Amino acid sequence: MSTEKTQKSQDGSQRLLVASEGGFRREMQCCPIARTYTAISIRLEATVIIAVECGRWSCQHCGKKKVAKYALRVKEAAPNKLITLTVNPAKWGTPREAYDGTRRKVSDLTKVLRKSYGEFEYFRILEVTKKGWPHYHLITRSPYIPQAELSDLWRQLTGAPIVDVRMIKKVGDVYWYVVKYLAKQAYIPWTDRRATWTRGFLVKTDFKADTPLELMEPQFSHEHPADWMRWNLPTTNLIEYSPTCWIFQQPPAVE
């Protein structure tokens, strides 16, 4: 006997998330619009099923993962200032035009500041107001820069004189700054690029990749992993290798 549990995906449709066969029950916790990548792992001597997640900010699952990842990395970068750069709606016809006309000006501002003050590294978060106009939160690592000078430079570049500068007094608060600005707004209609950063801002890590699975005979399917498993494999032989990877070991033949 099999049982099923469904959950509404973002488009309102029902997607199979849990399936059981012969008393085996599985809950899948991955992107609701993930696709399926399958291959044979030479190292594991088994078939692996990998969820290819969308990675979009607007995805409830992927967006939360990205927020947590970036919040931790920004905290590790030890920034000391929070700078908010606004736009002047009177200078633009639409919010999209304002974004296209000002987003590269942040880099121009950085070049000018570096000539006068040296280090200026930042993690930039895009946010929009209730009326849809963009503004930029820069979590920065930089020396003291007079607020009046920042305001004047930004006005020269974009026509918007309003710049807010705040010291970061507790490094631990940085994590929650990032969570606040990234998580409270999941969707911007004209871009999915919510965060960018300068090359020197994030701390380089000695990342060691997991032991490679040594894949061969890869295949890609547009089906969600839950659907693919349901129709292609007996779920009783599935082992969770990671939250987005499962192992299927073929049971030995009965003689």
Of 98, 94, 92, 90, the C-alpha closest to 136 is 98
Average pLDDT, the chain: 83
112: in domain: yes
Which tens digits make up the pLDDT trace of 142-174? 999 999 999 999 999 999 999 999 999 888 888
1: in domain: no
**What confidence score (pLDDT) does residue 4 get?**
39
State mean pLDDT over 203-227: 79
**What confidence score (pLDDT) does residue 24 get?**
32
Q: 22 and 50, same structural domain?
A: yes
Angle at the Cα of 178 from the Cα atoms of 164 and 203, rounded to 5 degrees: 105
**What confidence score (pLDDT) does residue 235 get?**
57
Q: 236 and 129, same structural domain?
A: no
Task: Give the pairing type, strands 121-128 and 81-85.
Answer: unpaired
How many domains are there within the chain? 2
Q: 122 and 45, same structural domain?
A: no
**What confidence score (pLDDT) does residue 170 get?**
87
Residue 250, pLDDT above cutoff 80: no
With residue 14 as reference, give the H or E element that holds it: strand 14-21
Q: 139 and 84, same structural domain?
A: yes
Is-contact 225 30, C-beta < 8 A? yes
Q: 192 and 220, same structural domain?
A: no
Residue 11, pLDDT above cutoff 80: no
**What confidence score (pLDDT) does residue 30 get?**
83
Q: 230 and 182, same structural domain?
A: no
The structure's pTM equals 0.74
| Domain limits for position 150 | 78-197
What CATH number does the domain containing 187 carry? Answer: 3.30.70.1910
Compute φ and ψ for 87, nearest 5 degrees: -120, 160
Which tens digits make up the pLDDT trace of 193-213? 889 999 999 987 655 555 678
**What confidence score (pLDDT) does residue 22 get?**
33
Distance, CA of 238 to CA of 50 (rounded, Å): 12
Question: Mean pLDDT lowest for which of 24-38, 104-118, 151-165?
Answer: 24-38
Compute φ and ψ for 243, nearest 5 degrees: -60, -20
Residue 6, pLDDT above cutoff 70: no
State mean pLDDT over 223-227: 88
Q: 116 and 13, same structural domain?
A: no
Is-contact 247 43, C-beta < 8 A? no
